[in-house]
Amino acid sequence: MQKFSFNKRLVVTMIILIVGFLLIALSISVRNNKNAPSFVQQIGNEAGGIVDRVVGVPMNGLGHATDSVKDLYNSYTENKKLKKQVDSIATQKVENQTLKEENEHLKQQLKLNETLTSYQKISAVVLSRTPSSWQNQIIINKGSVAGVKKNDAVMSRQGLAGRVTEVNKTTSKVELLSTGNDSANRFAVRVTSKDGTVINGLITGYSTANNQLIMGQVTSKAKIAKGAKIITSGMGGITPQGLLVGQVIRVANNDEGLPTKIYIKPAADFNDLDVVTVARRVD
């Protein structure tokens, strides 16, 4: 009898483990291949989103309260600095507007209605963050109802922050650029070299120790200035062109003819995301 019950327990354990591994395999295949997660997953996520809003609102309120005290503290010195910048911004704004208009006229003349730079913005509030070291992932409060699609680029106020990995009806998961996983991080980017040629490449990785993005698969060996701006190139068909990724910190040249690595200081702060914008390309 004792022996039998031991075997029974063993069998149950094995079955539970197998079911667990099957679930993991299933969800990874959904994540990699399908546009929407399964029905059960969706229901769970909607319910989670609702509960999380209830729990998260007081918590976020608390966070904002401490923030506002800090803000008050800083605003005096900031005000002084910003006043100096305001004048130049006004002129820039006017210039921007004229350029934009001109651009529109030119596009009309060329009958170019949509270019790679045009995209639709969907603003979303960050609900929560995955409490895990291995997935730098946030959960935002907009889903397929608002028009979010899988693989859309996500911007913070300062620059490119990540990519949508899972879309439910009213929530979505966004994998940040700082995630070191193999299947993420493939944004096509470009930078202008010192002599004006455009250099294309991919964001191939992230160095956690230095908080730097790594651009690889670089197409040319032209000299790149430190501090040059990296923007998305719009290649690959999903990401719009011209989203700011960051600034060049250092270029690692290889003598062996291997591709150059460009280290980038990301423009977005991946740990300070309250409101993000999903940039959905229009075409």
Partner 1 sequence: MRISKMRYFFPIGTFLFLFLDGSLSHLLAPFFFTTNVSVESRLILLWLVMGICYGTVDHLIWWAAAAGLFFDLFFTGILGIFTLLLPFMVYLTQNVLTFFNRSFIVVLLIYLIDITVLTTLFYWANALIGFTSVSAVNFIGRTLGPTLLFNLVVYVILFWPLKVFFEKFE
Interface residues with partner 1 (CB under 8 A)?
16-17, 19-24, 26-28, 31, 37, 41, 44-45, 48-49, 51-52, 55-56, 59-60, 62-63, 126-139, 165-166, 173, 178, 180-183, 208-211, 270-273
Cβ(206)–Cβ(181) below 8 Å: no
Report phi then psi at 35, rounded to 5: -80, -35
Q: Smallest distance, Å, CB 78 to partner 1?
A: 19
Q: Smallest distance, Å, CB 73 to partner 1?
A: 17
Q: Smallest distance, Å, CB 265 to partner 1?
A: 13
Of the pair 68, 220, the CB lying nearest partner 1 is at 68
Residues 6+ apart with CB under 8 A from 127: 49, 52, 53, 56, 138, 139, 140, 141, 171
Q: Smallest distance, Å, CB 141 to partner 1?
A: 12
Of the pair 45, 277, the CB lying nearest partner 1 is at 45
Could you tell me the two tokens for 90?
A: 């006004």
Q: Smallest distance, Å, CB 209 to partner 1?
A: 6
- Cα torsion angle, 16, 18, 19, 25, sign: positive
Of the pair 24, 225, the CB lying nearest partner 1 is at 24
> DSSP class of residue 258?
P
- Cα torsion angle, 58, 123, 184, 218, sign: negative
Of the pair 216, 242, the CB lying nearest partner 1 is at 216
Q: At residue 35, what is the residue type?
A: N
Of the pair 33, 133, the CB lying nearest partner 1 is at 133
Q: Smallest distance, Å, CB 152 to partner 1?
A: 16
DSSP E strand stretches across 96-197: 119-129, 137-140, 153-155, 160-167, 172-176, 188-192
Of the pair 165, 260, the CB lying nearest partner 1 is at 165
Placement of tokens 């031991």 in the chain: 6
Q: Smallest distance, Å, CB 139 to partner 1?
A: 7
Of the pair 67, 283, the CB lying nearest partner 1 is at 67
CA torsion 166→171→175→176, rounded to 10°? 160
Q: How far apart are CA 276 and CA 283, in angstroms?
A: 22
- Cα torsion angle, 95, 100, 105, 107, sign: positive
